[in-house]
Structure 1
Amino acid sequence: MRDAENMHLTGIRRKFEVNGNEVVGKCARYEPQISFQGLRQTCQPEYPKFASYKKPEIADDGKLETTGVSHEQKPEEEMVELGVSRKSKKESPFCIDSLAAVTDEEFEMLTGLPNIDTFWQFYSLLDCDKICPNMAYCTLQGEKSISRCAVYGSKHLANSLTFEDELLLLLTKLRLNLLDADLAQRFNIPTKVISSLIVTWVNFMYETLVSRRKMPIFPSRHKVNMQLPKKFSQDYEFRNLRTLLLDVEILGEKSHQSVYEMDPFSFSALPTSKVWSFTVGITPNGAANFISEVISGSSKNSDLSKYVFDKLKSDFNKDDIIIGPEITNSVRDCYGSIDVDYIVCSKFAKSPHLVLIRQLASKYLERLLAFKILTCIPCDLQPLVSKIVTVTVLLTNLNKPILQRK
């Protein structure tokens, strides 16, 4: 038996049974002469079966036969079968029509407006269909009288984006503060076009809403009292409440060059940011009724409160009540000289009405700062910071009042 196991295997032929066919081949150190046709059929791996997948057939000569479907066509057909199209983004760009089916919450998240109906009402308020065809487009350098085709680079590309989509682009920028490259990909236009569109529409909205007084924002005391929440109207002390003054500070990024010049081993984001301050006034139901000038630097180191008084003193009535932050004694005397009562709403106030007023102010700031453009003004838009602030504050008035009259 042992001698049989030690026999040299050279020249010994074995028989193998594969799929019922007798295949002859040499083993050991000799080169095999086995035909793998039957072995391939037996050991064919199992791949996922897409709808367009067909098992390859083997010809008599041992070569694979295709079934008329090329390898280049299979992935595309499989994507279509799975509901995916490589051209879907080109055919369905980000536009106002594509947002018709979204919920009100999703629309507000993207634009800051409560719903798509408000968008169209605002579009009509701006009178876009009449003004925009003759609107002069601008660049960051302040050039005007540039045609729409010159901004886009071609007439075909200019026709690919409607005026309502340009308005949507600006609202999305103000709300989400997306990068220009992100907006260009969403709207399927070149990145270099984005800045010109933003500058043009900010100037257009500012001129329409402020210069043409399409949205007057400081109503009379009679109109304020008509919308005064019941919690204030029934209280003798606050029934003449006219406005709440909120000091706001916003940041803007510095140029990359100034950041690179700093010590990289002890970097701080604070010195790399610019600061602007402004005061916004809101009515007792949470609607903006005043916007001050935007100044560079902190409000604590400026005469912003004196500027606010000088702008509003002609609109105040006797016995009006103004609630706001701490002011200097000289400014307080100015309010007293016209018989206007200025109340400082301290965080330690325990009066139920003052607590409610602080909650109202907090909710309005939450609404205003939801426009992420105010969290960090990009370098290229900082020359327009005053107009951007004004337009953004006015957009908050398109939402429902924070406190309803009941």
Structure 2
Amino acid sequence: MGEDHDIVIVGGGVAGLAIALALHKVGLKSLVLERADCLRTAGAAFNMWPNAWKALDALGVADALRPFYSQIDGIRGFSICSGVCKNVSLKRGGKGDSNVKLESRCIERMALLEALARELPEGSVRFNSKIVSLHRESLSPFTMLELADGTSLKAKIVIGCDGVYSVVARWMGLPPAKSVGRTSIRGMVTYTEGHNFEKLNVQVWGKGLRTGFVTCTDKKVYWFLTRRSQPQDAEICGNAEIVRNAALEMVKDFPDPIAEIIKSSPAETINMADLKVRWVWPWEWGRGMEKGKGSVTIVGDALHPMTPDLGQGACMALEDAVHLSRCLEQAIKSINIAEWGEVQVEKIESCFNKYLQERRWRVSSITSAAFVIGFVQEGSSRFTRFVRDWIFFPLFSMRYILYFAESC
């Protein structure tokens, strides 16, 4: 029948490690199954907004990251089409708090994963463990997980954190994530002698293209680019040098230092990905999940893949982890997990439904806002460029990012 575990977490990315640590903090042991042979670096870095730092504080790892990454002073946006430029300070105005700054830092993916993993008990993460299927046998309160190497595990509780192409989400009956018709390219550059860039989140908008960069440290800079997907993307995405050359061609008319940053980035930091979203309306959350699946749920990108236009993907995964761990802690206190049966399964299912109801409106609003904002910012048509540069840009001045980052 395979190994027996109380809680199995599928996926060792940000969501998986965060929920494992959150559960550990409340005294619950879990096993994280990661398909890769080590912590994955794809994605280079994340913008961590105030809501993410609140979650990292709750997880007890924020202070292990803060000293090593620069705090961002503001956001700068510029349109090469109209010349409109806007600056948004992260300092809060008002009497007595003019020097209070909203916390925003750009954190390397590996540093975040390592900070989370360090706080877990030894043996919490099992690498080279790719899940290929799940099932529940009739009259059994356990969930069986089948691995690619032929082994199997028996779990009382399963939490899917296996990303956009989640095996757990598919088994639960959720529709597959769909492409939004846009592609992102990301990378990181290290200046050994340091750089002279201001501590800003810089965004530059063109015709059907959005690019920019964020200072991570005094030596490291993270950059990004999004555009409409092209037929050749699937063929070139695995070749970093071809991707780099494509990115350089796209930004040839953009101001300095965009091209120089892309040109200087090591190939191993460059990543290209098709952007996907799963459209599930707030009132449909939980309904699309098939009944009889037992005590199983999903978090992070497995539940709500979103475009990166608000910089909230990793932030929302961290929020998910804190919310779910609190719900699960209360549920397990009310049952005897050692005597596992259908009564216990129903309690956990109720807990997971509560978690989904708590998260549905916030996650749905951010997913929708990121999609709309990304569409407008890229300015693929003359009309959207007009809206972006002369209506959206002057009126909203990019404070939409701060609204969602603060309202957790």
**Shorter-chain TM-score tier:** under 0.3
Larger % of strand: which? 2
Structure whose CA Rg is larger: 1
Relative contact order, higher structure (CA 8 A, sep 6+): 2
Q: TM-score, normalised by structure 1?
A: 0.22
Q: TM-score, normalised by structure 2?
A: 0.22
